[in-house]
Amino acid sequence: MANHEEVWEKLVDELEKESNYTMIMLEEPFEDEDDIPECIDKDYLLSTKHVFLPKLVASTAWKINSRVDKFRSDWDGSNTYLGNEIWDQFMFPNLKRAEKFITEKKWKNAFAVMFGIHLSGASDEGWISSNEIYCDFPVFSGWFENYSKAWKTLLTKSDKHLGFDCTIRPGGYRDIVENFLRKWEEETNELLEDIFDEFMKVGDIPARVRIFSEPGAIMGN
């Protein structure tokens, strides 16, 4: 292990113990191996894209992400069938699981599952661009509608209810998560419009992520 990696791991371990929260990186901490910072300290860590979340939230979210990643890496069939299986084995059931937690007002549990869905979905868009779920367009677009609704409900809850309130970063981590979601929403809506709008029938609702943006009109109106 390179020296900078050892320093990084020691720093993360110290901050996790200090806060009793777990860190998840949203991008690699060192983009260029030839340009490692001279000082790897808390200030440098705070400049990277990361979140510190309660242990329950982080472990649940990362477990979902890891299972989807492993499923992708082990898959040896077509991309379309891979997309179908990711929908059927992960996206549909995990969203229902999160919705159940929301109904029960178990906000951290719901956030953990929703963040896990987001991590696994944002890392590779193939499950969206290559699948046959869209053939039942109301089911396809309905998932994005319900996914958006779940996030909108959760984001009305307090930082303490969701676990955004880690003191490692001044102000906590709500803005980091919201910006992460917002960027994915914009990119995903462009993808959905480019690929799937042509398959809509009169009366169908466009497949869109609507956590922050305005809802689309019903086709044919």
Closest residue by Cα to residue 205 from 148, 163, 150? 148
In a domain, 146, yes or no: yes
**Structural domain total, the chain:** 1
The lowest-confidence range among 14-23, 27-36, 67-76 is 27-36
Q: Give the 3-state secondary structure of residue 30.
A: coil
In a domain, 167, yes or no: yes
Range of the domain at 112: 55-199
Element (H, E) at 169: none
In a domain, 170, yes or no: yes
pLDDT digits (tens, 9 = 90+) for 88-116: 999 999 999 999 999 999 999 999 999 99
In a domain, 153, yes or no: yes
Answer yes or no: pTM beyond 0.75: yes
In a domain, 182, yes or no: yes
In a domain, 207, yes or no: no
pLDDT digits (tens, 9 = 90+) for 166-213: 999 999 999 999 999 999 999 999 999 999 999 999 999 999 999 999
Q: With b meaning 16 or more CB within 10 Å and e meaning fewer, what string describes 180-202? A: bbeebbeebbeebeeebeeebee
Token digits for 37? 């910072």
